[in-house]
Amino acid sequence: MVDLKELQKEVMENKIRHGFTARDAALDVAYEFCRAHEELSEAFKKHNTNEPGVAEEFADVMIFILGMCETMGFDLEKELVRKIEINKNRKYKKEKSPEGKDVFIRIKTPEDP
């Protein structure tokens, strides 16, 4: 299994080695949000036009996310495990969209507002 915390550090070391960091950490994070969004948009475009390279674009998105987590002091692996457990216990109701398709709506509870 991959250690995401180690990947976070490796991504950050690579950014520093190549000079991809600014003096202002807040500016770096804002830029990285934009770049992650850009890479996700590229993946969407490739997917919709049946072009190869969608998985590589997803990898680019994850590289930016891992770097942001390291910069902001988040343990992404811990957060992923925590969120997966929350999602396992969420309650949903099925409704129909105006087009007649199934739509799942999360039911908010006191435990999961």
User: What domains sit in the chain, N to C, each tagged with a CATH number?
Assistant: 1-74 (1.10.287), 75-113 (no CATH)
Q: Token match 């919709």: residue?
A: 48
Token pair listed for 24 = 């202002």
Q: Taking the CA of residue 78 as centre, how many other CA atoms within 13 Å lie in the half-sphere pointing to its CB? A: 8
Residue whose structure tokens are 């999961």: 112
Q: What string of pLDDT tens digits covers the 113 residues of the chain?
A: 789 999 999 999 999 999 888 778 788 889 999 999 999 999 999 999 999 999 999 999 999 999 999 999 999 999 999 999 999 999 999 999 999 999 999 999 888 88
Q: Which residues contact 94 (CB under 8 A, 6 or more apart)?
A: 102, 103, 104, 105
pTM for the model: 0.85
Backbone torsions φ then ψ of 54, nearest 5 degrees: -60, -45
* Tens digits of residue pLDDT in 21-43: 877 878 888 999 999 999 999 99
